[in-house]
Amino acid sequence: MTSADSDTPASTTDSAASAGSEALVVSAPAEPTAPSALVAPTAPAAFNAIPAWRSPAAWCVLFLVFMAAVSLDLWSKDWAFRTVAPQPVVLVYEQVSGNPGYSLPWHPGVTAIAPDLLDFHLVLNHGAVFGIGQGRGPLFIAFTVLAVCTALWVFGKHTSSRSHLSHIGLALVLAGGVGNMYDRVAVGAVRDFLHLFPHRELPWGLHWPGGSNEWFPWVFNIADSELIAGMLILMLAIHLNERRQAMAAAGAAARVVK
Contacts of 89 (CB under 8 A, 6+ apart): 81, 82, 104, 105, 122
Length of the chain: 258
Going from the C-alpha of 155 to that of each of 81, 113, 177, 180, 250, the distances in angstroms are: 34, 37, 16, 21, 28
Active-site residue flag, 224: yes
Q: What is the DSSP string of 192-227?
A: EEEEESTTPBPGGG---TTS--BSS-EEE-HHHHHH
- Rounded to 10°, the helix 222-257/56-83 angle is 150
| CB-neighbour burial class of residue 107 (10 A; exposed 0-12, middle 13-18, buried 19+) | middle
Active-site residue flag, 192: yes
- Could you say which of 5, 14, 119, 192 is catalytic? 192
90 in Cβ contact with 104 (< 8 Å): no
- Give the integer Cα–Cα distance in Å for 198 and 195: 6
Active-site residue list: 192, 224
